[in-house]
A and B are shown apart, each in its own frame.
Chain A
Amino acid sequence: MRAPDTNEILLQVEAVALSFGGVRALKDVSFNIRKGEIRAIIGPNGAGKTSMLNVVNGFYHPDHGTITFKGRTRDKMQPFEAARGGIARTFQNVALFKGMSALDNIMAGRTLKVRRGLLWQVLRYGPALREELEHRHRVEEIIDFLEIEAIRKVPVGRLPYGLQKRVELGRALAMEPELLLLDEPMAGMNLEEKEDMSRFIVDVNNQYGTTIALIEHDMAVVMDLSESVAVLDHGVKIADGTPDEVKNSQAVIEAYLGVAH
């Protein structure tokens, strides 16, 4: 069953600005993500969508503005804090650990849940072994869920792109996140793969109640999946609302058709 939509705000980004040298990637962007929803961020290339996600999970530090996550307001996120707070992330260009198997990649996602330290792990006995097995169990559930049983032991570098994206989603899910950020989860996929991926996203949202924010270019997918859509263009938020509202917004149409400003 679908997680109950509440009006509780999980993440609030307030007047965030970010620039690289002279290029202003984000100009005073504010938006929020409500608990349990699937939120889409769309916009033309170079609109600042990925930069936005990078600010949210602490990889970029905004020049000004605040980020409020689970009620705590910060000037900037640190990647580790974001991860510990329950924000997981996938990347536009798959960022898997190429030298490791699919299983190890997903197991690595459990790092924050590991309790036994170095000295136990050296022994790999008793509590340490039990813990490893527990994590293996959880990871196998994810592997079943994503239907990638057959490629468990394959080094991810050898996998086709679509499967890599799936493994990456698996790694993010292994963190048991409260907020899942997906950067173009369906880029470069064929129709069938897109359908699979859409199904996984909806299922994750339904089964685990995970809040999801995704960047996507395929409008059909965005309109189907998301409950609300924010539109960025040239680092500015130009529209925000339900898919239907956004679809009919004049500003959005202009941005996509490239009307001169």
Chain B
Amino acid sequence: MLYREAGQFKTTYVEDMAIFPIRQDRIALAVLLGIAFIGVPLLATFHIWPFGSDYLLWAILLPFLILALAAIGTNILVGYCGQISLGSGAFMAIGAYSAYKLVTGVHIPLAWLGCAISIPPLSVLASILLGGLIAAGVGILFGIPSLRIKGLYLAVATLAAQFFFDWAFLRIPWFTNYAPSGSVNAPELNFFGLIVQSPIERYLLCLLLVTLMALLAKNLVRGNLGRQWMAIRDMDIAAELIGIRPLYAKLTAFAVSSFIIGVAGALWAFVYLGSWEPLAFSIDRSLQLLFMVIIGGLGSIMGSFVGAAFILIVPIMLNLIPAELGVPLSTETIAHFEFIIFGSLICYLLIKEPHGFARLISIGKEKLRLWPFPY
């Protein structure tokens, strides 16, 4: 009975167009944000359960936030615009390595012109955002084939991006500033004089950025551009006949998606990993992001968070539950179980509920609205 919208009348279109038109949802969101922004840091500061150690922050919440952001980016391209991508990992890598180059200063000698392009080291924030923009540029480049080819063919084009950049960051020493090991280290995370170092600070930084970008992404998908993307996804021919230019719609989707994924990649490298190799952004990462999107819900910003949470929690549960029951599984068996669970869940959801957990949640809410009556 608590979850009712009866009596909540909307008198303006602005109210009707709100992200959460129902008051109870807004309250729930406020509580969630309160916990995330205030509760978690407080508990973690004083090491109160479940934040006795930094494990929850470091190993769960930090990767959750960053991968959820990358999943939002993937979702814009795959879920909203219907362009399959198996190369999200590569765009995370582009964001990460571009940011790395920018933060350490770029120097490109142009021998034949007798001069050089030099960019002095930029600040961390500028590098991360510019890294995203560079990823967006590359995204547009790899999106161009999508104008001539569709769906499955595009999968191969994005695979090309994946494998090419895997190789480039591994074999072209310029990208790693000629580091002998091939692995590079993140700079000190200095934001306008504030040094982000402890897990709590890292968490808050990511939380802030991810919340902001999720909100902006939501604005885009519920605006005209989002409708253009979905129109292209649902029926590109009809979209064209109502005046949507496929060129513009698809390339903006590639650009926005790659920008978000690129920023997530830079955060993943700078804030979470600290030091990394191209392996961190392999095709496994791409598939993981795709799974988050399918499981969480194609075409849902909230679903991206749900999917990321699910994908990260399952292996932990596979680790914990059998151990609690006295039959601990080997790492290998856990990995195999993970494969089987994710794989079959994907098939199940595609058959039963293509909009993933996000739709299951909204169905649940509809039921709750009617409760205790069946209809």
Contact = CB atoms under 8 A, between A and B. Distances in A.
Interface in B200-224: 216, 219-220, 222-224
Nearest to B234: A97
Given A80-B245, A136-B17, A175-B243, A121 B225 contact: yes
B17 A83 contact: no
Interface in A107-166: 107-112, 114, 118, 121-124, 128-129, 132-133, 135-137, 140
B14 A118 contact: no
Which bucket holds chain A's interface residue count? 35 or more
A46 interface: no
Interface centre among B224, B231, B245 (most CB of A within 10 A): B224
Given A99-B230, A107-B224, A83 B243 contact: yes
A100 B227 contact: yes
Given A114-B224, A123-B216, A123-B219, 17 more contacts: A79-B240, A79-B241, A83-B240, A97-B235, A98-B234, A99-B230, A99-B299, A108-B239, A110-B224, A118-B256, A121-B223, A121-B225, A122-B219, A124-B222, A136-B13, A137-B13, A140-B13
Contact of B219 (A97, A98, A121): A121
Nearest to A181: B241
Interface in B292-340: 299
B235 A124 contact: no
A178 to B, nearest CB: 13
A91 B219 CA distance: 31
Given A79-B240, A80-B243, A88-B242, A99 B220 contact: no
A38 interface: no
A246 B186 CA distance: 79
Q: Interface of chain A, helix or strand or loop or mixed?
A: helix
Contacts of B228: 108, 111
A89 interface: yes
Given A80-B240, A121-B224, A97 B231 contact: yes
Interface in B232-259: 233-235, 237-245, 252, 256
The 10 A-B residue pairs whose C-beta atoms are closest, nearest first, are: A83-B243, A97-B234, A95-B238, A112-B243, A124-B219, A121-B223, A79-B240, A108-B227, A114-B224, A136-B13
Contacts, number: 98
Q: Interface of chain B, helix or strand or loop or mixed?
A: helix
B234 A100 contact: yes
A91 B242 CA distance: 12
Interface centre among B219, B233, B242, B252 (most CB of A within 10 A): B242
9 contacts: A59-B237, A95-B235, A97-B231, A97-B238, A99-B234, A114-B224, A121-B219, A123-B219, A132-B224
A99 B235 CA distance: 10
Contact of B241 (A57, A114, A137): A57
Nearest to A139: B13
Interface centre among A99, A128, A133, A137 (most CB of B within 10 A): A99
A118 B225 contact: yes
Contacts of B223: 121, 124, 128, 132
Contact of A108 (B13, B231, B299): B231
A104 B225 CA distance: 11
Nearest to B243: A83
Nearest to A57: B241
Contacts of B230: 97, 99-100, 104, 108
Nearest to B223: A121
A204 interface: no
A251 to B, nearest CB: 32
A150 to B, nearest CB: 14
A199 interface: no
Contacts of B227: 100, 104, 107-108, 111
Contacts of B17: 132, 136
A36 B295 CA distance: 51
Interface string A10-28: 0000000000000000000
Contacts of B225: 118, 121
Given A107-B227, A124-B223, A132-B17, A99 B233 contact: yes
Given A95-B237, A96-B235, A99-B233, A84 B243 contact: yes
Contact of A98 (B216, B235, B242): B235
A202 interface: no
A82 interface: yes
Contacts of B234: 96-100
Contact of B238 (A91, A122, A137): A91
A171 B14 CA distance: 21
